[in-house]
């Protein structure tokens, strides 16, 4: 078990279920007694004692019980596994070969192409490490033979090892593929060893088999064209003998199959989702999309911390009973003073909505940020977490469950793939993202509970659906609702979710976008790989890392990654506003504009005489902050949109988003740079009969509960929701 694993935690196989649907909860407990599981409804997930507080309500339905603790490990690191018979390599002379682009060549021995078991059985393994290319041999006490010439990071090499079992001679070589530009030399070494009679069965790529874990010596870097040859290679690396197996990693890029184009068709599978659709040794730059030139993208980037599915055995299941209200729930695990709550959503039965109002759980965004390691967990932050009784665990302390698409792998490459089939510490009631001097410091799942808490405080009935539900159900699943509400930060979307939301508003639906920086990044899914999303941070935008040139197209669906704006679907086209500025987690306020007094929209401000709106709140201290969206007709804000209010009070940390800047002076739409630092609250009647109400700020929802839910922010939203829903 990893040192940073939690004593008690788990995950659920799906994040939502309708009545009659069954959810499986996969639990790991290192504790020496049974754990218990009960059910709570999560109304408010904010532990701030100055706010509504955590509201975890008991639910009287058959659920959970007492279960035996069972420690379940997590095995990080991607690799390929191929079943082959031992007879495959029963030849007098065997050569192992591959093209490699190592990213951490000095870290230690890393397996590239392993045949059999070079540690605990009969086998050989081609490796890279601090001494360059090497061959590990199971039957010789000396262990390995290496070239002795260190490899340069992020440079392509051909590495090979030839084993002459008759003479007991091994030769290892490394050949740089661009020696002139990089000033590198080829290197080789020859040794006489006691060799195994023949390697055992099975081949692994980018790792070696372990005795107590599935794989060891994980490789960080790109791998291309692994090959087994009966005989030797010529000076150019072409087989001079008979090809036994040759894996073309440019085939099936959207999946996990590894295809052998050799005579035996020894196909295999990838474990823990390495990154595909990456430039290979033959990339020329003439094509930027792997679908157009798969031979130039015939590499896979493996990482020692990749993770897809923890693969834990199920601890217990729950079948949602008929009539159970739609809402946000949690499976609460408790044992020996430890507690964890695994959130999930109960949705209405298909085609049977129970309310006029729908709230969308932004689960794709929660997944993109899953286990975001921020490096901000100092002593003062720990003290606040303890004093507030907040969720006590943070990804800065716990690395065994992999990190978010806002983090980097150990080799510095960005995390492009994120799975929900693992414990997600950041998606827990009471989780604090920031040590917010003026508020709670919530984001994502806990922050969105500000909306559900407000709905219940106002007595407004609502259903919930998740991004994944909408992706799979389309506009049809939204059509029964009079109004659809987003959370504070619906940032990540697939083509399917955008199609559904646009189809809803074009069909006469009413959308309340209650956040900022929404509908920003395009993500990909693959139905054959449930639970995974992918983001490629291409070309521009406010980014945690930048994709390598030529690696902008998603592996899961082949589409261009990056901003939806670069895919001809700016957020303004759907929501009327789009990302304009970002700064520190602090809130300003809105100032009401004269257009708000027009009789066509003045109903929105009924009971709101204030000109300054939202100079308070649990998110940064104000309703307009952190990430701000503006209206912009050049990007698709609908004709006739009314800007009701615009924000003020933003500090010096706020900057315009990069995609709006042409130079240090000029902006794309011609507005002055300073004017781009604003949130616009807008209203639009759509030609379809539908309507938009958007607030343009991530921190808006944190102001809803102020002064007992009786404040200008709350009254504005209540006026809109009740008008849209007719309640």
HSE value, Cβ hemisphere, 13 Å, CA-based, for 367: 30
- Structure confidence at residue 539 (pLDDT): 85
Whether residues 200 and 262 fall in one domain = yes
Residue 139's pLDDT band (boundaries 50, 70, 90)?
low
Q: What is the mean pLDDT of residues 86-93?
A: 93
Contact between 644 and 601 (Cβ < 8 Å):
yes
Contacts of residue 59, Cβ cutoff 8 Å, sequence gap at least 6: 39, 40, 41, 329
Helix, strand or coil, per DSSP, at residue 253 = coil
- 311 Rama class: left (phi>0) / alpha (psi -120 to 50) / beta: left
- Reference 93, options 200, 168, 189; nearest CA is 168
Given a cut of 80, whether residue 143 has pLDDT beyond it is: no
Mean pLDDT of 617-632: 98
For 574-605, the DSSP string reads HHSEEEEEEEEEEEEEEEE-GGGGSTTTGGGG
pLDDT at 140: 66
Examine the pLDDT at 606 and tell me if it is beyond 80: yes
Q: Quick one: 49 and 172 in the same domain?
A: no
Q: Are residues 51 and 84 in the same domain?
A: no
Note whether 641 and 576 are within 8 A (CB): yes
Does residue 13 sit in the same domain as residue 119? no
Does residue 525 have a pLDDT over 80? yes
396 assigned to some structural domain = no
Do 317 and 296 belong together in one domain?
Answer: no
The three-state (H, E, C) secondary structure of 355-395, written as one string:
CCEEEEECHHHHHHCCCCCCCCCCHHHHHHHHHHCCCCCCC
Q: Which helix (H) or strand (E) holds 502?
A: helix 495-506
pLDDT digit string, tens, across residues 700-718? 999 999 999 999 999 999 9
Tell me if 416 is assigned to some domain: no
Do 239 and 319 belong to one domain?
A: no
Provide the pLDDT for residue 620.
Answer: 98
Whether 149 and 226 map to the same domain: the answer is yes
Mean pLDDT across the chain, nearest whole number?
96
Whole-number percent of the chain with pLDDT over 90: 94
Q: Number of folded domains in the chain?
A: 2
482 pLDDT above the threshold of 80 = yes
Does position 112 have pLDDT exceeding 80, yes or no?
A: yes
Residue 141 has pLDDT above 90, yes or no: no
- Within this chain, do residues 232 and 281 fall inside the same structural domain, yes or no? yes
63 assigned to some structural domain? yes
Contacts 24+ apart (CB under 8 A), 471-478: 471/364, 471/496, 471/497, 471/500, 471/525, 472/496, 473/350, 473/500, 474/499, 474/500, 474/503, 475/499, 475/500, 475/501, 475/502, 475/503, 475/504, 475/507, 477/350, 478/358, 478/503, 478/504, 478/509
Q: What is the pLDDT of residue 274?
A: 98
Give start and end residues of each alpha helix (H) in 129-247.
Answer: 179-182
CB 84, CB 266: distance < 8 Å:
yes
Whether 52 and 151 map to the same domain: the answer is no
- What average pLDDT does the segment 139-168 reach? 90
In a domain, 425, yes or no: no
pLDDT band at 39 (very low <50, low <70, confident <90, very high): very high
Q: Does residue 568 belong to any structural domain of this protein?
A: no
Q: Same structural domain for residues 200 and 257?
A: yes
pTM, whole model, 2 decimals?
0.97
Question: Per residue in 370-425, pLDDT tens?
Answer: 999 999 999 999 999 999 999 999 999 999 999 999 999 999 999 999 999 999 99
CATH number at residue 287: 2.60.120.200
User: Which range of residues forms the domain containing residue 18?
Assistant: 8-67+313-329+331-335
State residue 168's pLDDT score.
86
Give the C-alpha separation, 188 to 135, whole Å: 11
Res. 3: pLDDT tops 80: no
Q: What are 627-654's pLDDT values in tens digits? A: 999 999 999 999 999 999 999 999 999 9
Beta strands in 35-77, from DSSP E residues, in sequence order: 35-44, 55-58, 65-67
* pLDDT tier for residue 1 given thresholds of 50, 70 and 90: very low
Residue 284: inside a domain: yes
- Residue pLDDT, tens place only, 286-312: 999 999 999 999 999 999 999 999 999
455's tokens: 């709905």
* Nearest partner of 7 among 336, 390, 394, 401, judged by Cα: 336
One domain, residues 63 and 140: no
**pLDDT of 182 higher than 80:** no
Burial of 360 (0-12, 13-18, 19+ CB in 10 A): buried
Asked whether 306 and 555 are in contact (CB, 8 A), the reply is: no
Q: Could you say which DSSP state residue 650 is in?
A: -
Angle, CA 659 vertex, CA 655 and CA 664 arms, to 5° = 60
The answer to whether residues 134 and 203 belong to one domain is yes
Q: Using the predicted structure, report yes or no on whether residue 233 has a pLDDT greater than 90.
A: yes
Residue 655's pLDDT band, with cuts at 50, 70 and 90, is very high
Confidence of residue 199 (pLDDT cuts 50, 70, 90): confident
Beta-bridge partners for 612: 591
Q: What is the pLDDT of residue 144?
A: 87
Would residue 655 count as lying in a domain?
no
In-domain check, residue 180: yes
Strands 357-361 and 483-485: parallel
């Amino acid at each position: 078990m990893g040192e940073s694993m939690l004593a008690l935690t788990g995950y659920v196989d799906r994040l939502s279920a309708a009545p009659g649907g069954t959810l499986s909860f996969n639990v790991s407990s290192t504790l020496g007694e049974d754990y218990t599981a009960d059910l709570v409804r999560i109304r408010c997930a904010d532990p701030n004692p100055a706010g509504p507080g955590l509201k975890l309500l008991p639910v009287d339905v058959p659920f959970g019980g007492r279960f035996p603790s069972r420690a379940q490990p997590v095995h990080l690191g991607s690799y390929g596994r191929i079943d082959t018979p031992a007879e495959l390599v029963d030849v007098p002379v065997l050569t192992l070969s591959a093209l490699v682009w190592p990213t951490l060549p000095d870290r230690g021995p890393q397996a590239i192409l392993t045949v059999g078991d070079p540690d605990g059985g009969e086998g050989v393994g081609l490796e890279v490490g601090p001494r360059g290319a090497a061959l590990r041999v199971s039957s010789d006490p000396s262990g390995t033979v290496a070239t002795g010439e260190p490899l340069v990071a992020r440079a392509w090499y051909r590495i090979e090892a030839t084993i002459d079992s008759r003479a007991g001679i091994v030769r290892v070589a490394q050949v740089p593929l661009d020696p002139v530009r990089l000033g590198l030399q080829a290197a080789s070494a020859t040794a006489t060893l006691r060799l195994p009679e023949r390697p055992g069965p099975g081949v692994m790529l980018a790792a070696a088999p372990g005795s107590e874990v599935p794989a060891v010596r994980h490789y960080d870097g790109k791998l291309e064209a692994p090959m087994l040859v009966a005989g030797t290679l010529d000076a150019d690396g072409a087989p001079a003998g008979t090809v036994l197996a040759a894996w073309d990693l440019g085939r099936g890029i959207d999946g996990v199959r590894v295809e052998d184009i050799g005579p035996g068709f020894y196909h295999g599978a990838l474990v823990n989702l390495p990154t595909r659709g990456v430039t290979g040794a033959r990339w020329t730059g003439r094509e930027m999309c792997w679908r157009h030139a798969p031979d130039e993208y015939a590499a896979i980037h493996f990482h020692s911390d990749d993770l897809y599915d923890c693969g834990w055995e199920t601890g217990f299941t729950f079948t949602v009973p008929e009539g159970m209200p739609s809402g946000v729930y949690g499976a609460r695990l408790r044992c020996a003073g430890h507690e964890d709550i695994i959130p999930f959503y109960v949705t209405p039965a298909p085609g049977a909505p129970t309310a006029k109002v729908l709230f969308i759980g932004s689960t794709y965004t929660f997944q993109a940020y899953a286990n975001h390691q921020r490096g901000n967990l100092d002593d003062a932050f720990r003290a606040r977490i303890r004093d507030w009784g907040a969720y006590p665990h943070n990804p800065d302390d716990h690395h065994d469950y992999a990190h978010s698409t806002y983090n980097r792998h150990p080799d510095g490459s960005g995390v492009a793939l994120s799975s929900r089939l693992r414990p997600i510490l950041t998606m827990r009631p009471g989780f604090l993202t920031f040590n917010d001097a003026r508020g709670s410091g919530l984001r994502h799942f806990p922050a969105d509970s500000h909306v559900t808490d407000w709905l219940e405080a106002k007595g407004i009935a609502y259903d919930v659906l998740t991004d994944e539900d909408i992706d799979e159900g389309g506009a049809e699943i939204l059509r029964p609702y009079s109004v659809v509400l987003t959370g504070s930060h619906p940032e990540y979307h697939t083509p399917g979710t955008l199609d559904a939301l646009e189809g809803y508003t074009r069909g006469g639906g009413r959308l309340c976008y209650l956040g900022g920086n929404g509908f920003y990044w395009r993500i990909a899914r693959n139905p054959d790989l449930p639970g995974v999303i992918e983001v490629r941070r291409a070309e521009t935008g406010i980014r945690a890392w930048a994709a390598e040139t030529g690696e902008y197209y998603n592996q899961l669906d082949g589409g261009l990654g990056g901003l939806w704006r670069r895919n001809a679907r700016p957020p303004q086209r759907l929501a009327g506003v789009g990302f304009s500025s970002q700064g520190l987690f602090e809130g300003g306020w809105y100032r009401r504009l004269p257009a708000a007094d027009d009789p066509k929209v003045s109903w929105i401000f009924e009971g709101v005489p204030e000109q300054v709106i939202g100079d308070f709140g649990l998110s940064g201290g104000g309703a307009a902050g952190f990430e701000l969206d503006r209206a912009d007709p050049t990007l698709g804000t609908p004709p006739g949109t009314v800007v009701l209010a615009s924000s003020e009070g933003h500090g010096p940390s706020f900057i315009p988003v990069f995609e709006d800047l042409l130079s240090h002076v000029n902006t794309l739409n011609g507005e002055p740079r300073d004017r781009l630092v604003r949130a616009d609250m807008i209203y639009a009647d759509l030609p379809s009969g539908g309507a938009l109400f958007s607030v343009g700020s991530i921190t808006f929802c944190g102001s809803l509960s102020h002064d007992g839910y009786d404040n200008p922010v709350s009254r504005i939203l209540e006026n809109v929701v009740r008008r849209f829903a007719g309640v």
